[in-house]
């Protein structure tokens, strides 16, 4: 049976805006208050999806959440008709309205942690929606994420969608952005690297960031590994270097990226990076019958941490385009950075790693909030049979791409500032768009506004 890595990309929602909501994410902090272009953001994301689909890679779409999240505002005590809820929130708690209006759910690398059926003791594909507890605007995402995943991965004999990890901030979990699965090929047994920034029960010597808070706890990942029935031999935990977090590495996918047997990482990514890489290599050889892991280190002398964060080199996707041949799907910002571009060119020209080509994408709308190519996708490794069992309407082909482009052009604004978020017309427009989208994707009713009174 064939196995595929399917990239599920988050479709940018109609309320994409710059609100400076993510302390510790330098792009979000520096762009807060600017006017956003939701239409352009969504089209940029769709262009990336189309490119990967045209490469022959299975590509799918995850729909955006309903925003402004009137249901969340009601839970925060606002009442009355929807327009009254928006007006009262705008007056009494404007930052809460802004938090409940973010399109942050586009960054689906934070939607969930995923385990392929090859690696789980019960032979099912497991998903745990991330609790995203560290940021208010993201903490409201998990219920919709769970509903959407259950609508797409419908068959409980093949797919298990768990509840998010409970336990409050100490158990903070940000999903696949801090998780990398290595395997000799997508269909082979995997080794799972889980990267945390803090422990819920830290030892006396555990180093901690000084400026920005860590978002991911080790214990949350330990719980996920248990729920997903991963054997101990398939799991490795590592701690992010606190200095990296303080430099703006709020998720590990800002400083390392892996695919199959390749691991591109910055030398300052982890606490004791050389020891982490040595253990990863040994453990990979053990699960893959002796096949070597190619660890491609980016030295700080070539790309200083600050430039790694600014260019988002490590937030590239690495995809397998043919056996042993991989492509880097990178943000255009990497070309604009002389050192980063030179490093990538050199690796490809040398030709001694599986990385053989690089493609650059203008994702500036998402990048300005700290979301590069890898943030925008959730990787799900599926067998042929599992692929055939998911909701068929979410698979991207040229016809769906064309329909989604037309849908964006019909419904999305090309200018959005924070003062627009209380506009009841924006809520109406967004709901109209999402209602049509669920029909296009064949997902039935998944949003609060569709389910109310159902
Ligand atoms: O959680 N930005 C997101 C970016 C997430 C990127 N994801 C990965 N690295 N996988 C975040 O910080 C900014 C929203 C704003 O400021 O308007 C925001 O939520």
| Strands 179-183 vs 256-259: parallel, antiparallel or unpaired | unpaired
Q: What is the mean pLDDT of residues 43-69?
A: 98
3-state secondary structure the chain: CCEEEEEEEECCCCCCCCCCCCCCCHHHHHHCCCCECHHHHHHHHHHHHHHHHHCCCCEEEECCCCCCCHHHHHHCCCCCCHHHHHHHHHHHCHHHHHHCCCCHHHCHHHCEEEECHHHCCCCCEEEEECCCCCCHHHHCCHHHHHHHHHHHCCCCCCEEECCCCCCCHHHCCCHHHHEEEEECCCCCCEEEEEEECECCCCCCCCCCCCCCCCCCEHHHHHHHHHHCCCCHHHEEEEEECHHHHHCCCCCHHHCEEEECCEEEEECCCECCHHHHHHHHHHHHHHHCCCCCCEEEEECCCCCCHHHHHHHCHHHCEEEEEECCEEEEEEECHHHHCHHHHHHHHHHHHHCCCCEEEEEEECCHHHHCCCCCCCCCEEEEEEEHHHHHHCCHHHECCHHHHHHHHHHHHHHCCCCECHHHCCCHHHHHHHHHHHHHHHHHHCCCCCCHHHHCCC
Which tokens in the block code for residue 414? 């090309």
Order of all β-strands in the sheet with 235-239: 179-183, 190-196, 235-239
Residue with token string 């219920």: 143
Nearest to 340 by CA among 372, 298, 371: 298
Mean pLDDT score, 187-211: 91
What mean pLDDT is predicted for residues 36-51? 98
Identify whether the C-beta of residue 336 lies closer than 8 Å to the C-beta of residue 342: no
Residue closest by Cα to atom 10 of ligand 1? 375
The reply to whether 251 belongs to the active site is yes
Instruction: Note whether 234 and 189 are within 8 A (CB).
Output: yes
Taking the C-alpha atoms of residue 320 and residue 298, their distance in angstroms, rounded to an integer, is 21
Mutate which of 7, 8, 25 for ligand 1? The one with the most ligand atoms within 8 Å of its CB, which is 25
Asked if residue 209 has pLDDT above 70, the reply is yes
Whether the per-residue pLDDT at 36 is higher than 90: the answer is yes
Q: How many percent of the chain have pLDDT more than 90?
A: 96
- Ligand 1 site, residue 172, Cβ cutoff 6 A: no
- Residue 375 appears among annotated catalytic residues: yes
Average pLDDT over residues 49-74: 98
Residues across the chain: 454
Least confident span in 107-116, 178-187, 444-453 = 444-453
* Neighbouring residues of 227: CB distance < 8 A, sequence distance ≥ 6: 126, 128, 162
- Alpha carbon distance 127, 164 (integer Å): 9
Average pLDDT over residues 31-56: 98
- Indicate the burial class of 338 (C-beta count within 10 angstroms; 0-12, 13-18, 19 or more): exposed
Give just the sign of the alpha carbon dihedral 164, 169, 170, 173.
positive
Expressed in angstroms and rounded, the spacing between residue 324 Cα and the centre of ligand 1 is 32
Between the CA atoms of 224, 226, 227 and 230, what dihedral angle is there, to the nearest 10 degrees?
90
The pLDDT of residue 170 is 86
Spatial CB neighbours of 422, under 8 Å, sequence gap ≥ 6: 86, 87, 89, 90, 97
pLDDT tens digits, one per residue of 253-269? 999 999 999 999 999 99
Number of Cβ within a 10 Å radius of residue 75: 11
Instruction: Please state the rounded mean pLDDT for residues 269-290.
Output: 97
Find out whether 128 and 162 touch, Cβ atoms under 8 Å: yes
pLDDT tens digits, 92-137: 999 999 999 999 999 999 999 999 999 999 999 999 999 999 999 9
Give pTM, 2 decimals: 0.98
Residue whose CA is at the smallest distance from ligand 1 atom 7: 375
The Cα–Cα gap between 328 and 337 comes to: 16
pLDDT beyond 70 at 453: no
Give residue 402's pLDDT: 98
291-343 per-position pLDDT tens digit: 999 999 999 999 999 999 999 999 999 999 999 999 999 999 999 999 999 99
Ligand 1 neighbour 253 (Cβ under 6 A): yes
Rounded distance between C-alpha atoms, residue 55 and residue 251, angstroms: 28
Cβ atoms of 433 and 411 closer than 8 Å:
yes
CA distance linking residue 415 with residue 443, whole number of Å: 29
pLDDT score for 202: 76
Residues 271 and 2: their CA atoms lie apart, in Å, by: 37
Output the pLDDT for position 350. 97
**Cβ proximity of 179 and 217 under 8 Å:** no
C-alpha of 286 from chain center: 29
Is the CB–ligand 1 distance for residue 25 below 6 Å? yes
Query: Computed from CA positions of residues 260, 265, 267, 271, in that sequence, does the dihedral angle turn out positive or negative?
Result: negative
CA angle 435, 13, 247 (to 5 degrees): 155
Q: Name the residue of 8, 105, 107 to mutate for ligand 1: max ligand atoms within 8 A of Cβ.
A: 107
Cα 360 to averaged position of ligand 1 atoms, centre (Å): 21
For the chain, give the mean pLDDT: 97
Task: Please give the average per-residue pLDDT across 166-181, as a whole number.
Answer: 95
What tokens appear for 136 in the block? 């208010």
What's residue 452's pLDDT?
87
Q: Which residue has the tokens 């909701």?
A: 391
Domains of the chain: 6-67+102-452 (3.75.10.20)
């Amino acid at each position: 049976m064939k196995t595929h890595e399917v990239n599920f990309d988050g479709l940018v929602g109609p309320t994409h805006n710059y609100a400076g909501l993510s302390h510790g994410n330098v792009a979000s902090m520096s762009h807060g208050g600017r006017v956003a272009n939701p239409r352009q953001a969504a089209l940029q994301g769709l262009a990336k999806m189309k490119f990967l689909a045209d490469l022959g890679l299975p590509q799918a779409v995850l729909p955006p959440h309903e925003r402004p999240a009137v249901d969340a505002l009601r839970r925060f005590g606002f009442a009355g008709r929807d327009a009254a809820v928006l007006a009262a929130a705008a007056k009494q708690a404007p930052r809460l309205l802004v938090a409940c209006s973010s399109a942050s759910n586009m960054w689906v690398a934070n939607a969930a942690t995923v385990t392929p059926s090859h690696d789980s003791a019960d032979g099912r594909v497991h998903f745990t929606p991330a609790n995203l507890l560290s940021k208010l605007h993201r903490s409201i995402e998990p219920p919709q994420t769970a509903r959407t995943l259950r609508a797409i991965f419908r068959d409980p004999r093949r797919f298990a969608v768990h509840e998010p990890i409970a336990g409050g901030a100490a158990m903070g979990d940000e999903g696949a952005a801090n998780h990398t699965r290595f395997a000799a090929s997508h269909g082979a047994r995997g080794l799972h690297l889980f990267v945390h920034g803090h422990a819920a029960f830290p030892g006396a010597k555990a180093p901690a960031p000084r400026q920005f808070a860590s978002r991911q706890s080790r214990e949350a990942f330990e719980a996920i590994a248990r729920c997903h029935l991963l054997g101990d031999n398939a799991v490795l935990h590592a701690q992010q270097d606190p200095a990296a977090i303080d430099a703006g590495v709020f998720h590990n996918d800002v400083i390392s990226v892996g695919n199959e047997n390749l691991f591109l990482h910055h030398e300052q990514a982890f606490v004791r990076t050389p020891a982490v890489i040595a253990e990863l290599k040994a453990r990979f050889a053990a699960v893959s019958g002796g096949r070597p892991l190619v660890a491609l280190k980016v030295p700080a002398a070539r790309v200083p941490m600050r430039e790694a964060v600014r260019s988002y080199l490590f937030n590239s996707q690495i995809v397998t385009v043919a056996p042993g041949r991989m492509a880097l799907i990178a943000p255009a910002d990497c070309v604009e950075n002389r050192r980063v571009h030179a490093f990538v060119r050199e690796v490809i020209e040398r030709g001694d790693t599986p990385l053989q080509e690089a493609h650059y994408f203008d994702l500036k709308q998402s990048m300005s909030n700290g979301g590069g190519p890898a943030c925008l996708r959730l990787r799900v490794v599926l067998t042929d049979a599992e692929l055939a069992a998911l909701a068929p309407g979410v698979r991207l082909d040229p016809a769906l791409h064309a329909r989604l482009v037309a849908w964006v052009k019909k419904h999305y604004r090309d200018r959005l500032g924070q003062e627009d978020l209380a506009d009841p017309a924006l809520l109406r427009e967004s709901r109209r768009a999402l209602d049509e989208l669920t029909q296009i994707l064949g997902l039935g009713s998944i949003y609060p506004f569709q389910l109310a009174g159902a």
